[in-house]
């Protein structure tokens, strides 16, 4: 075990997490040195280096794919009920070690502890429980029962553990083995998950973790012995991946970006809607693919909604992710902060009016205040591009038809929200909106039983629920 790392900015949530000074790759059931360089992962709230992590090169990726291939021979033939036992065991250990996982996630990612503790980690363990239940019932799923083989899984930094669970749990339940690459800025909880696989006695090679940069992901996608690629990340990288696998028989699912409309009608319960708007865009600092980053508010209530929204935004506490009272944590990286600043400046330059909640930001680390833009037109870049930060673009509409036209006027199609008292309007809107998920009088609700995925440039394939099995069965 390495040196205990004491993180102390918030005395009331002081916790000791065992962060080692350096980490290798997890291949064939054990931690091994990489052949490539190492990179540093930092705490975005303090800019302090947390650990050095191996950067897997092509050779390491090949080693991991071979380990997964060897393991697949026995794992895929194991009765589903046996595989389920391992998944249940993993789910239970995640629940038992939830405090440690939540603290580590908040330290490496910057998200508030109340989100990692109350949202991310509980859903992670629920996901393993849920897919454990499917492992011996695949014949009822209606998609065939044969596993695909070795799954290459590449995940982003915004929900490191949750994206891991969305990918690993269904793959394993269906009898596949995996090589997973976490994002460069958030590798630590995936490496802790590797320890959990050891603790659960998961057979060697069923789960392999290769840390590294984009080049590691590229080598994994291009590896000839990979049967399936599951990617969550940006639309640009998703397109590159689709080009790389073109002409091969690799199966692919892509979960990409979004620019969701959160639509508030004049008969909506306004205070409840304001909570939903805040949750929609400021949850996880807005680093959410399905974030409600465009508020479409009916003209007759726009002034009232904006007044109450600003008042609510002024109460948000921005700061130390390990403080239980924090609502908005740190931006995940200097690079992401630069992008948020750039797009916000462009918003102002293009004529939108910027308002930020009055708050003091810490002197170290990467921070951005909860911000909204009014006087936004559909042509503005802040209305079209994914900012992936705590920045809301506000537009207005008069009729439901106008709301639908504006909501669908985006290359993306991942999610949407509708706030109204009328059930018939909810159903009408849900049919007309081109979005994989439509929330009614709520936002950012996730459940392992619900399928999730996009239309258009938000990608293809579904994760979660029975539909999530289809991506891993022949």
CB 179 within 8 A of CB 210: yes
Residue 255 near residue 459, CB atoms below 8 Å: yes
**What is the three-class DSSP state of 121?**
helix
Q: Applying CB under 6 A, which of residues 289, 318, 391, 392 lies at the interface with ligand TAP?
A: 289
Check if 255 is active-site.
Answer: yes
CB of 212 to ligand TAP, least distance (A): 6
Interface stretch with ligand TAP, choices 11-19, 125-133, 168-176, 251-259 (CB under 6 A): 251-259
Q: How far apart are CA 103 and CA 114, in angstroms?
A: 10
Window 180-239: residues binding ligand TAP (CB under 6 A): 181, 183-184, 213-214, 217-218, 221, 232-234, 237
| Catalytic residue from among 55, 184, 255, 385 | 255
Rounded Cα gap, residues 382 and 395, in angstroms: 11
Give dist(CA 207, CA 261) in Å, integer.
Answer: 37
Contact pick of 29, 36, 160, 257 for ligand TAP (by CB under 6 A): 257
Task: Identify the helix (H) or strand (E) that includes residue 163.
Answer: helix 160-173
* φ and ψ of 145, to 5 deg: -120, -5
Smallest gap from residue 268 Cβ to ligand TAP (A) = 26
CB closer to ligand TAP out of 200 and 414: 414
Q: Which of residues 117-136 bind ligand TAP (CB under 6 A)?
A: none
- Name the residue whose CB lies closest to ligand TAP: 217
Query: Residue 149 or 459: which CB sits closer to ligand TAP?
Result: 459
* C-beta of 187 vs 205, nearer to ligand TAP: 187
Measured from the Cβ of residue 308, the count of other Cβ atoms closer than 10 Å reads: 17
Strand partners, 38: 54
Among 108, 386, 457, 470, indicate the residue that binds ligand TAP (CB under 6 A): 386
Contact 178, 231 (CB under 8 A): no
Q: Which is nearer to ligand TAP, 421 or 447 (CB)?
A: 447
Give me the least distance between CB of 231 and ligand TAP, in Å please.
Answer: 7
Q: Which is nearer to ligand TAP, 135 or 414 (CB)?
A: 414
DSSP 181-241: E--TT--HHHHHHHHHHHHTTPPTTSEEE----HHHHHHHHH-TT--EEEEES-HHHHHHH
Q: Binding residues for ligand TAP, per CB under 6 A?
A: 154-158, 181, 183-184, 213-214, 217-218, 221, 232-234, 237, 240-241, 255-258, 289, 386, 388, 414, 454, 458-459
Residues tagged active-site = 255
């Amino acid at each position: 075990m390495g040196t205990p790392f004491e993180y102390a900015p918030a005395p009331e949530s002081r916790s000791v997490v065992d962060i080692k000074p350096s980490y290798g790759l997890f291949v064939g059931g054990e931690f091994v040195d990489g052949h490539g360089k190492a990179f540093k992962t930092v705490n975005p709230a303090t800019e302090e280096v947390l650990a050095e992590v191996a950067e897997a090169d092509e050779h390491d990726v090949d080693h991991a794919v071979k380990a997964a291939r060897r393991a697949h021979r026995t794992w895929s033939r194991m009765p589903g009920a046996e595989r389920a036992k391992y998944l249940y065991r993993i789910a239970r250990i995640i629940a038992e070690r939830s405090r440690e996982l939540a603290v580590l996630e908040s330290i490496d990612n910057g998200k508030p502890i109340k989100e990692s503790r109350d949202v991310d980690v509980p859903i992670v363990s629920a996901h393993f429980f849920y897919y454990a239940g499917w492992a011996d019932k695949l014949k009822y799923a209606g998609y065939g029962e044969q596993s695909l083989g070795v799954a290459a899984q590449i995940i982003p930094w915004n929900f490191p553990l949750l994206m891991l669970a969305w990918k690993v749990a269904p793959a394993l339940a269906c009898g596949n083995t995996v090589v997973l690459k976490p994002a460069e800025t958030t590798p630590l909880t995936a490496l802790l998950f590797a320890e959990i696989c050891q603790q659960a006695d998961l057979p060697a090679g069923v789960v392999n973790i290769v840390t590294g940069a984009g080049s590691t992901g590229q080598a994994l996608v291009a590896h000839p012995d990979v049967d399936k690629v599951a990617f969550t990340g940006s639309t640009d990288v998703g397109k590159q991946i689709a080009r790389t696998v073109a002409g091969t028989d690799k199966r692919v699912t892509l979960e990409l970006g979004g620019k969701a409309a959160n639509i508030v009608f004049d008969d909506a319960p306004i205070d409840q809607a304001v909570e939903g708007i805040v949750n929609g865009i400021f949850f996880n600092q807005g680093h959410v693919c399905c974030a409600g980053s465009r508020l479409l508010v009916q003209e007759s209530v726009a002034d009232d909604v904006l007044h109450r929204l600003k008042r609510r935004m002024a109460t948000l506490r921005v700061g130390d992710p390990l403080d239980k009272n924090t609502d908005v944590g740190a931006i995940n990286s200097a690079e992401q902060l630069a992008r948020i600043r750039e797009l916000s400046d462009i918003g102002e330059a293009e004529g939108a009016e910027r308002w930020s909640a009055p708050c003091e930001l810490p002197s170290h680390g990467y921070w951005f205040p909860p911000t909204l833009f009014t006087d936004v037109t559909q042509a503005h870049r802040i209305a079209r591009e994914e900012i992936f930060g705590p920045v809301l673009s506000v537009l207005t509409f008069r009729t439901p038809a106008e709301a639908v036209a504006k909501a669908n006027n985006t290359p993306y199609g991942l999610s949407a929200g509708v706030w109204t008292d009328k059930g018939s309007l909810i159903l009408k809107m849900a049919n007309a909106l081109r979005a994989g998920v439509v929330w009614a009088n709520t936002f950012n609700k996730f459940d392992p039983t619900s399928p999730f995925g996009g239309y258009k440039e938000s990608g293809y394939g579904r994760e979660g629920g029975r539909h999530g099995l289809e991506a891993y069965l022949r």
